[in-house]
Amino acid sequence: MSSIGARAKRARGVVVASAGVVMAVAGPCRAQPAQCAVRAGADANGTAGAVGYSDAQDTGDLFGVPVASVTTGGAVGGGGGCSAASTAMASARFGSLSARGGGSAVNCPTGSATIYSNATASFRDRIQVGHTSLPPGTRVPVRLRVAYAGWCSSVQAASPYCGGTVDVIASITLGQMRVFTTAVGVFVEESDGVVVGGVIDLQARFARTSGASSGSLQLPGMPAEAVSCGHDALVTVTIEPLIPGVVLTACSGHDYTPPCPSDFNMDGVVDPDDLSDFIACFFGAPPCAGADFNGDGTADPDDLADFIAAYFGQPC
């Protein structure tokens, strides 16, 4: 069986020296509550012939709110049988970002058809670093891990249109770790630039888009051209201390240490709900992004076997 650890790979990140040291605060949130926010935006739009629609929403920065989520959708029918419909969803919570959507369209003799599904999500947080015995200023190592799972599909005569970015920045007291990738997998950066009594300013931004277009009118005597698109993706971010005794206290209250792998719904408890939720995810049509349990870029029987093995054999 495969394992996430065996297939983990290092992102092409960099460590950039900062001009000064970020000073500790009385509490990670008390001095600057604006450091802790979530945001989600979604846009579903398209055209059918000469008629179009657009449904765009953005929560803006939400402070003190654990989850930001929006869902958009629209549909239109044009003359001669053109049609277009799409949806988009984005959700942001501290430590994880998700997006999904899609749609379908058909051209006609009087016009082409186009659809787009776009979603963005982000969070930012401030994390204070402490230790049970080491004095302030002691350097302690941590590991930033970004897991990106999902799929994107665009079915059309021309080139498929799928895109996405993941941008995670962890500003450390003596430098900066950054992960930027569009690939599926687990990406890791390690740093010993964290100091006891300092803070980590963590930012994560995620964008996902898919689209499809007939690109032309329905030709005389030819069938209409049907096009479709879809996407579903999940980004999770954890920060793991690499020595005992390190205490990370987030402004948001979120625990960024890696969760138990068997806790699929991340509610803090491993119970039958996790097993049923994973099975529903895995056998969905198509599977949801979390079905790629081992992080190798595909949802296949290995993922089901690995999750069952973790659930029954590795209690947390």
CATH classification at residue 279 = 1.10.1330
- How close are the terminal C-alpha atoms of the chain, in Å? 20
159 plus 271 within the same structural domain:
no
pTM: 0.77
Q: Is residue 315 classed as helix, strand or coil in its secondary structure?
A: coil
248 plus 276 within the same structural domain:
no
210 plus 308 within the same structural domain:
no
| Encoded tokens for 258 | 């890696």
33 plus 140 within the same structural domain:
yes
Query: What does the DSSP assignment read for 73-117?
Result: EEEEE-GGG-EEEEEEEEEEETTEEEEEEEEEEE-BTTB-EEEEE
Owner of token pair 């053109």:
82
How far is the CA of 284 from the CAs of 71, 119, 209, 227, 233, in angstroms? 20, 21, 21, 22, 14
pLDDT for position 174 = 72
Owner of token pair 């401030």:
126
Last residue of a domain, one of 258, 286, 307: 258
142 plus 281 within the same structural domain:
no
| Encoded tokens for 112 | 């082409």
44 plus 134 within the same structural domain:
yes
Q: Which of 54, 174, 188, 48 lies closest to 111 in space, CA to CA?
A: 48
Q: DSSP state, 4? A: H
82 plus 229 within the same structural domain:
yes
169 plus 291 within the same structural domain:
no
pLDDT for position 16 = 22
CA–CA separation, 280 and 302 (whole Å): 16
C-beta of residue 243 within 8 angstroms of C-beta of residue 193: no
Q: Which domain holds residue 211?
A: 4-258
243 plus 266 within the same structural domain:
no
C-beta of residue 263 within 8 angstroms of C-beta of residue 269: yes
Last residue of a domain, one of 215, 231, 258: 258
| Sequential pLDDT tens for the chain (316 residues) | 222 222 222 222 222 222 222 223 335 555 455 679 999 999 999 999 889 999 999 999 999 899 999 999 999 998 888 999 999 999 999 999 999 999 999 999 989 999 999 999 999 999 999 999 999 999 999 989 898 888 899 999 877 789 888 999 999 877 788 888 777 777 888 888 899 999 999 999 999 999 999 988 888 888 999 999 999 999 999 998 888 899 999 999 999 988 777 887 767 678 888 889 889 888 987 787 678 777 666 788 888 898 888 888 866 6
User: 294: left (phi > 0), else alpha (psi -120 to 50), else beta?
Assistant: alpha
Helix or strand run (H / E) with residue 35: none
pLDDT for position 315 = 62
Last residue of a domain, one of 258, 282, 303: 258
As for how many domains the chain has, the answer is 2
Helix or strand run (H / E) with residue 138: none
88 plus 175 within the same structural domain:
yes
Q: What does the chain come to in residues? A: 316
CA–CA separation, 96 and 277 (whole Å): 17
65 plus 77 within the same structural domain:
yes
10 plus 147 within the same structural domain:
yes
Count of CB atoms situated within 10 Å of the CB of 274: 21
Q: Which of 98, 152, 158, 150 lies closest to 122 in space, CA to CA?
A: 98
CA–CA separation, 47 and 40 (whole Å): 24
Amino acid identity at 180: F
| Encoded tokens for 135 | 């004095």
CA–CA separation, 16 and 29 (whole Å): 25
